[in-house]
C-alpha cells in the first residue's frame, strides 16, 4: 500500500497554466520527472528557476556557501504582513544578529526544561479527543498551538489572548495564498505589494494580539515576576556583538514566526503521522506498546520511544511540512555545466529530495525500519532535510522532534485510529503540506 501522493502535471504546460497550478498547489504543479532529475531549469519572462536535487548541490547552497545564496525575497513577500522582519525572512547581518539572540533559548538543556509544558499539552490534547469520526488536522493544530503558548509564554491555549491568536490565525490561513504576485514578477522595491485586504487585516490583528503578550511579559520581566520560559529567555538575551536585546517590535516579529513555524509545521507532521498509523495498523500497535512508557512526566521517556521516533521521522520524509525552500544567486553561478545568472531562484525541494528515485530505496513506501538500513543511514545524511540544513537549519528542530514524538505516542496510548472509507486525504501545499479536504480518522478508545 502506497501512501497518498499528489498527481504530477504534464512535462510541458503554458506559463499561464503553470502559474494557475502553482498558486493552487505547488506539488501538483510539478512534473513527474523531478523525482528523477538531479537538476531542472524553469524559465519565465521575468526570471529563471533551478530545482536542485543532487545532494552535492544542496550541500553547496545550504551548507558550504549560505551567504552567497540568501533567502529569496520574492517568496517571502506574501508572509511579510504577518512576519515583518522575522528571522525566517531576513538575511545577512540582520539574520545573524537575530540568531545570536534566539539560538541560546533552544540549546540542548532547554529541551529538558520545556518538557513538562509539552507533557501538559499532550495530556490536554488527549483529553480533548472523543470517540468517533474526527477531522484530525483540527486536533493537531490545537495541540501544536497549545505547546507553543505553554513553552513560550507559560499559558495554555485556553488563556484569552492565546485563544484569540489561535482563532485569528485560522482566519489568516484561510485567506493567505501561498504566493504573492511578486513570486512571478520582479517588482521594484518602491512599488506597493498587492495583498488581499482580509489577509492584511488578519495579519494586523494577530500582530496586535502578540504585541499584548510581549508587552505583558516585558512588564513581568521589569517586576521580576516573569516565568523562566522561552519568551523570557529570548527577551532578556543580549547580543554579544552589539550589546542589544530585541525591541518590542522585533519580538513581535519573532513570536509570529515561532507561532507560524512551530504551530503550523508540527500540526501538519502530527496529522500525517496519525493518518499513516491508521493506514499501517501494525506500526500503530508498535507505537502504542511503546507508549506505555508514558506514565510520568519524565524527560527520560523520550529515549524509550525509538520506534515512535522512526515513525515520526518517516512521516517527515514522506510529508515534509515545508515542501520547498527558495534561495537566490547573488552572482552568476555554474551548476552541472548550467549557468545560473545572478538573481536566479534556486529551489531546494525536500518533497522531491525525500522521494528521489535515484537516492532512496522504495521512495514512495512507508517504512520506518528504513532508518536502520545502509540506504536509510546514507540518505539521512545526504537527502533528508525536513528542517533545512546548514547555517539556516531550523532553530527548533530538536524541540519539534521531541514534541512530535511525545504527542504522537501519548495520543496512541489512549486511542486507536482508523481510516474512514472514501475519505482518503490528498496532499496539497499552502503554508505547509496539508490535506485538501482535511484528514478524517475514526477514533476508538484503546483497550489497555
Give residue-wise pLDDT tens across range 330-385. 999 999 999 999 999 999 999 999 999 999 999 999 999 999 999 999 999 999 99
pLDDT band, residue 17 (cuts 50/70/90): low
Note whether 324 and 285 are within 8 A (CB). Answer: no
How many C-beta atoms lie closer than 10 Å to residue 9's C-beta?
17
Element (H, E) at 251: helix 248-259
Which CATH number do you get for residue 151?
1.10.630.10
Separation of alpha carbons 434 and 267, rounded Å: 9
pLDDT in tens, 250-290: 999 999 999 888 888 999 999 999 999 999 999 999 999 99
In 3D, which of 376, 393, 377 has the Cα closest to residue 385? 393
Per-residue pLDDT band at 170 (split at 50, 70, 90): confident
User: In terms of DSSP bridges, do strands 325-328 and 333-335 run parallel, antiparallel, or are they unpaired?
Assistant: unpaired
Residue 191 pLDDT > 70: no
Asked if residue 237 belongs to a domain, the reply is yes
DSSP code for 2? P
pLDDT at 181 over 90: no
- DSSP H helical ranges for 14-91: 15-24, 55-58, 73-76, 80-83
Tell me the three state secondary structure of residue 303: helix
pLDDT at 27 over 90: no
In a domain, 120, yes or no: yes
Q: What pTM did the predictor assign?
A: 0.92
* Res. 190: pLDDT tops 50: no
Whether 184 has a pLDDT exceeding 80, the answer reads no
48 part of a folded domain: yes
The parent domain of residue 248 ranges over: 15-445
Lowest mean per-residue pLDDT among 129-133, 165-169, 172-176, 278-282: 172-176
Mean predicted confidence (pLDDT) in 221-240: 96
For residue 72, name the pLDDT band (cuts at 50, 70, 90): confident
Within-domain flag for 7: no
Q: Partners of 134 in the beta sheet?
A: 441
pLDDT of residue 175: 61
Q: Give the CB-side neighbour count of residue 159, counting CA atoms within 13 A.
A: 18
Q: What are phi and psi of 49, to 5 degrees?
A: -120, 145
- What's residue 194's pLDDT? 45
Q: What pLDDT sits at residue 43?
A: 76
Q: Rounded to an integer, what distance in angstroms lies between the CA atom of residue 173 and that of residue 78?
A: 12
pLDDT score recorded for residue 432: 84
User: Residue 425 domain-assigned?
Assistant: yes
How far apart are alpha carbons 350 and 372 in whole angstroms?
Answer: 21
Q: What is the mean pLDDT of the chain?
A: 89
Beta-carbon contacts of 214 under 8 Å, excluding residues fewer than 6 positions away, are 231, 235, 248, 251, 252, 255
The answer to whether 19 and 184 have CB atoms below 8 angstroms apart is: yes
Any domain includes 231: yes
pLDDT of residue 335: 95
- By the 10 Å C-beta count (0-12 exposed, 13-18 middle, 19+ buried), 31 is classed as middle
| Residue ranges in 280-348 assigned as alpha helix (H) | 281-290, 306-318
pLDDT band at 16, cuts 50/70/90? low
Range 164-177 average pLDDT: 78
The arithmetic mean of pLDDT across residues 140-151, rounded, is 96
Render pLDDT for 156-165 as a digit per residue (tens, 0 to 9): 999 999 999 9
CB 430 within 8 A of CB 322: no
Q: Is the pLDDT reported for residue 1 higher than 60?
A: yes
Residue 2 lies in a domain: no
What pLDDT does residue 264 have? 87
User: Does 316 score more than 70 pLDDT?
Assistant: yes
Answer left, alpha or beta for residue 216, where phi above 0 means left and psi between -120 and 50 means alpha.
Answer: alpha
Name, in order, each residue with C-beta under 8 angstroms of 114's C-beta and a sequence gap of 6 or more.
Answer: 151, 229, 230, 399
Domain count, the chain: 1
Q: Is residue 223 part of a domain?
A: yes
- Cβ neighbour number for residue 135 with a 10 Å cutoff: 17
Tens digit of each residue's pLDDT (9 = 90 or more) over 81-130: 888 999 989 999 999 999 999 999 988 778 889 999 999 999 999 999 99
Amino acid at each position: 500500500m502506497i501512501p497518498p501522493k499528489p498527481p504530477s502535471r504534464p512535462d510541458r504546460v503554458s506559463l499561464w497554466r503553470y502559474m494557475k497550478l502553482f498558486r493552487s498547489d505547488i506539488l501538483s504543479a510539478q512534473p513527474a520527472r523531478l523525482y528523477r532529475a538531479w537538476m531542472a531549469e524553469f524559465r519565465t519572462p521575468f526570471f529563471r528557476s533551478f530545482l536542485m536535487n543532487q545532494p552535492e548541490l544542496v550541500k553547496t547552497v545550504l551548507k558550504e556557501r549560505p551567504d552567497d545564496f540568501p533567502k529569496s525575497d520574492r517568496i517571502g513577500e506574501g508572509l511579510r504582513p504577518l512576519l515583518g522582519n522575522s528571522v525566517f525572512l531576513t538575511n545577512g547581518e540582520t539574520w545573524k544578529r537575530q540568531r545570536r539572540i534566539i539560538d541560546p533559548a533552544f540549546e540542548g538543556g532547554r529541551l529538558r526544561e520545556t518538557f513538562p509544558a509539552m507533557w501538559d499539552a499532550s495530556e490536554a490534547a488527549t483529553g480533548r479527543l472523543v470517540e468517533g469520526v474526527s477531522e484530525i488536522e483540527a486536533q493537531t493544530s490545537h495541540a501544536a498551538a497549545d505547546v507553543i503558548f505553554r513553552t513560550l509564554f507559560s499559558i495554555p491555549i485556553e488563556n484569552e489572548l492565546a485563544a484569540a491568536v489561535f482563532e485569528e490565525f485560522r482566519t489568516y490561513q484561510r485567506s493567505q495564498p501561498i504566493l504573492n504576485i511578486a513570486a512571478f514578477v520582479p517588482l521594484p522595491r518602491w512599488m506597493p505589494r498587492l495583498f488581499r485586504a482580509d489577509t492584511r487585516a488578519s495579519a494586523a490583528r494577530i500582530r496586535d494580539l502578540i504585541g499584548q503578550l510581549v508587552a505583558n511579559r516585558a512588564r513581568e520581566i521589569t517586576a521580576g515576576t516573569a516565568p523562566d520560559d522561552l519568551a523570557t529567555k529570548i527577551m532578556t538575551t543580549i547580543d554579544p556583538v552589539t550589546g542589544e536585546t530585541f525591541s518590542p517590535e522585533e519580538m513581535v516579529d519573532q513570536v509570529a514566526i515561532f507561532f507560524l513555524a512551530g504551530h503550523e509545521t508540527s500540526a501538519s507532521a502530527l496529522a500525517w503521522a496519525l493518518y499513516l498509523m491508521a493506514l499501517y495498523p501494525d506500526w500503530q500497535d508498535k507505537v502504542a506498546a511503546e507508549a506505555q512508557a508514558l506514565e510520568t512526566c519524565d524527560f527520560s521517556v523520550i529515549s524509550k520511544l525509538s520506534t515512535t521516533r522512526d515513525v515520526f521521522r518517516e512521516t517527515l520524509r514522506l510529508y515534509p511540512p515545508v515542501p520547498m525552500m527558495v534561495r537566490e544567486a547573488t552572482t552568476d553561478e555554474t551548476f552541472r555545466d548550467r549557468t545560473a545568472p545572478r538573481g536566479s531562484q534556486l529551489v531546494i525541494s525536500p518533497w522531491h529530495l525525500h522521494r528521489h528515485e535515484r537516492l532512496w530505496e522504495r521512495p514512495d513506501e512507508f517504512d520506518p525500519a528504513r532508518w536502520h538500513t545502509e540506504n536509510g543511514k546514507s540518505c539521512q545524511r545526504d537527502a533528508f532535510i525536513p528542517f533545512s540544513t546548514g547555517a539556516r537549519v531550523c532553530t527548533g528542530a530538536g524541540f519539534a522532534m521531541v514534541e512530535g514524538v511525545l504527542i504522537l505516542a501519548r495520543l496512541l496510548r489512549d486511542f486507536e485510529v482508523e481510516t474512514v472509507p472514501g475519505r482518503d486525504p490528498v496532499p496539497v501545499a499552502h503554508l505547509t503540506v496539508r490535506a485538501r479536504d482535511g484528514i478524517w480518522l475514526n477514533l476508538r478508545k484503546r483497550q489497555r
